[in-house]
Structure 1
Amino acid sequence: MAAWLPSIPYPPEQEGYWAPITATLDWCEENYYATQYSAEIVNSMTNLLFAYLAIKGISNCIINGHDRIFIVSFLGYLVVGVGSFLFHSTLKYPMQLIDELSMIYTTCIMFYATFAHNKSTRYITILAGSLITLSVSITAYYHYLKDPIFHQVVYAILTAIVLIRALYVMEINIRPSLRMKETALRSDSADSDTKPRTRNEQRRIDDRDAKILRTMWIMIAYGLSAFLGGFAVWNLDNVFCPTLRTWRRKVGLPWGILLEGHGWWHLMTGIGAYYYIVWGIWLRHCLNHKQDDYELYWPRLLTSMPSVVRKRGHNQAAIANGKKKR
């Protein structure tokens, strides 16, 4: 297979620094073939994407004044990447718990961000307490059960609930045909020039929000495609592991790295999760009626990562106002 490709033969597995393996999962990548200090080198290194995107996201939140809950979300996202790096490097059970449970905790943070917005203090307190109780219960039961299927099912259910709720909130609050108008047009104004301006402004708002909604759906499609595509590759990696190992041995290094399905799962879900958090930030600004203050910066759909930034005109106005106040 592909004998014409220049390659290096896969080295044999060696005794690992972190041996013995205590995790309940051992993935398709062969163990300790590259270095004795990393059980699964590709599965470990692909988590560096989480670190990069987490730092990018946290920096963006601080610079642009996004709600602090999204800084916490990106910190959780970072912990997922670090936990996964440690797990795949060592294949130790405690590191496995950090990897898997941090996914649950970060999803609960996004659950809170999605359901707590504009709610009463009592509602928020009950929601936070319920999510903490749920997280502790999942942690205790998973540690007792030690069944990865339980973790995967719970994670999928939580993610689906958060996604469906966020989609509903987006549609009902942004789509012009569904959105409840906050203010009625001043049809009884005595100033005849006011009516056209008011109608024009409403038309501008509707056009703006329709455009935002279209872009949001593109972002959602990209994020879901990356996430579900990664899930599909992850399953193929599990089902056809013996075949993939044979192919990797035949093509050698570095080409065999491209057949590490679990590594692709990390890259694709990392991108998908990042898209979701950025979408959550943008949706929050829209719910706060700040569409004219913030915009999505996404210069190239396929080769760049989106971020939500303050509009330049808004920054200049803020600077001007600051100078005037002085």
Structure 2
Amino acid sequence: MADGISSFWGPVTSTIEFCERNYAYSSYIAEFFNTISNIPTILLALIGLINALRQRFEKRFTILHISNMILAIGNMLHHATLQSGQQQSDETPMVWEMLLYMYILHSPDWHYRSTMPTFLFLYGALFAVVHAKVHLGIGFKVHYAILSLLCIPRMYKYYIYTQDPSAKWIAKWYVATLFLGSLCWFCDRVFCKEISSWPVNPQGHALWHVFMGFSSYFANTFLMFCRAQQLGWAPKVDHFMGLLPYVKINKPKTQ
């Protein structure tokens, strides 16, 4: 939210701003709460990455958790600087991550192993070039929404074919945190003028980051469970410190 304050990064060049007063706490951080609210996403992705590496899950899940971290870091840079160049480091990884989800969701039924990842890689590279040269604006939002919607039917199919109650609860937490995060984003975006007059800004966009960090973690964990089932790894849900769910597997000795 522009307020005319000079900063280390210079004038705002990002095509979008959010409902938080710029440089309220530091001349180096444009939107303080929107920046630091990405930290939970990084920590959750790190936990998921350690679990994937420790139990030797497929590399796709290592890449998925790393992509969550890259997206969060890019988002931090965007909100900290509000520069158009850093906006690209936020929006392009968003699309790449959705393409990776599409690969993980559909790969078990893909008969030609190299065709799908090759197509998705070239699609992601082409998008990055086009989006860097011609900022898509509303086109980006529509494109991202379409990619997200394409994942829903497959995710639901995994849910209805999963019998484990604990795994189903992870999927429910994924949907719940996604809904709450989207509600925070919507209210922050639509009612910014009213919210700005309140004594305390609830920082809806920052809450969106936090909820989406948990939503991504739950989605990744659920997909790890489903994939382990497909591979016959006898997955079960355990909890880190009695709270955060993660997947434990028991690979056959031949693997």
Q: In the alignment, which residue of structure 2 is the partner of 1:77?
A: 68
Task: Select 2:168's aligned residue among 208, 212, 217.
Answer: 217
RMSD between superposed Cα atoms in Å: 2.4
Per the alignment, residue 239 of structure 2 pairs with 298
Closer/same/farther in 2, CA of residues 118 and 290 from structure 1, 3 Å limit: farther
Q: Which amino acid aligns with 1:225?
A: A
Q: Matched residues in 2 for 1:14 and 1:144: separation?
A: 29
* Greater than 4 Å deviation, 4+ residue runs: none
- Offset, 1:215: 2.7
Q: Determine helix, strand or coil for the equivalent of 2:126.
A: helix
Deviation sequence 1:261-290 (CA, Å, 0-9, x none) = 100110011111111111111100011122
- Which letter maps to 1:306? P
2:35 matched to 1:94?
no
**Residues 23, 29 of structure 2: 8 Å contact kept:** yes
How many angstroms does 1:161 deviate by? 1.8
Distance 1:157 1:20, change over 3 A: same
Pick aligned residue for 2:203 from 256, 260, 268 = 260
Aligned to 1:114, which of 98, 105, 108?
105
- Cα deviation for residue 139 of structure 1 reads 2.7
- The residue aligned with 2:24 is 33
Match of 1:56 among 43, 47, 59: 47
Query: Which piece of structure 1 moves more, 223-232 or 278-287?
Result: 223-232
Equivalence for 1:200 = none
Structure 1: runs of 5+ lacking an equivalent: 1-11, 175-209, 319-326
Q: Contact 1:223–1:271 at 8 Å: present in 2 too? A: yes
Task: Assess if the C-alpha contact under 8 Å between 1:13 and 1:33 holds in 2.
Answer: no
Give the match for residue 192 of structure 2: 241
- The Cα of 1:299 is off from its aligned counterpart by 6.8
TM score, norm. by length of structure 2: 0.90
Give the one of 132, 139, 142 matched to 2:128.
139
Indicate the SS of the match to 1:298: strand
- Give yes or no for contact 2:174–2:218 (8 Å, CA) kept in 1: yes
Match of 2:224 in 1: 281
- Identity between Structure 1 and Structure 2 (%): 22
Q: Which residue, 122, 133, 151 being the options, matches 1:162? A: 151
Structure 2: state its 5+ residue gaps. none
**1:310: which partner in 2?**
249
Match of residue 215 from structure 2: 272
The structure that has the greater radius of gyration is 1
TM-score by length of 1: 0.71
Q: Deviations over 1:34-55 (max 9, x none)?
A: 0101000000000011210111
Q: Contact 1:107–1:158 at 8 Å: present in 2 too? A: yes
Number of residue pairs aligned between Structure 1 and Structure 2:
252
Tell me, yes or no, if the aligned pair for 1:226 and 1:268 is still in contact at 8 Å.
yes
